[in-house]
Amino acid sequence: MKVLIADDDRVLSHMLATRLRALGWAIDLAGDAMQTVMFAMRGQPDVIVLDIQMPGGTGIDALRKLKASVKTAQIPVVVVSGSVAPEEEAAIVGLGAARFVRKPVDGDALHEILREVTSAASSPGPAATR
């Protein structure tokens, strides 16, 4: 499984990448919103971990673009931030995020969340009935 970690905090990105690689994930890193969208369209990750505050546009801008494109709309996005008011969390999920996680992010907890959202994304929908 491949995860795209999109965060301009290089220390946090590399810490999460190291932990997730040790757990078997393939990792791509993006440092700004535009790069995130470009990498997602090109690399088709299984899941994206997306920070809100980044250069080149916000994580919200990137989330909207990802969900508007047929190439990336199905990719689950886990939004992470330490600077979002609690009432904004529901709005972020309403824009298409699979989950919202408050920073600081624990690598093991994030691993479990990524497993959950990728499982849900790959599960077939309800069978059609006649």
Q: Indicate the burial class of 110 (C-beta count within 10 angstroms; 0-12, 13-18, 19 or more).
A: buried
What pLDDT, on a 0 to 100 scale, did the predictor assign at position 105?
Answer: 87
Question: How far apart (Å, rounded) are the C-alpha atoms in residues 20 and 108?
Answer: 8
Distance CA 93, CA 80 (A): 11
**Considering the entire predicted model, what is its pTM?**
0.91
pLDDT for residue 125: 52
Q: d(Cα 63, Cα 50) in Å, to the nearest integer? A: 8
Q: What pLDDT is recorded for position 129?
A: 40
The predicted structure's pLDDT at residue 128: 40
What 3-state class would DSSP assign to 78? strand
Dihedral sign of CA atoms 49, 53, 58, 64 in order: positive
Mean pLDDT for each consecutive 10-residue tract of the chain (130 residues)?
Answer: 96 93 96 96 97 92 97 97 87 95 89 94 53
Domains and CATH numbers, the chain: 2-107 (3.40.50.2300)
13 closest CA partner among 105, 108, 78, 83: 105
- For residue 100, the surrounding DSSP H or E stretch is strand 99-102
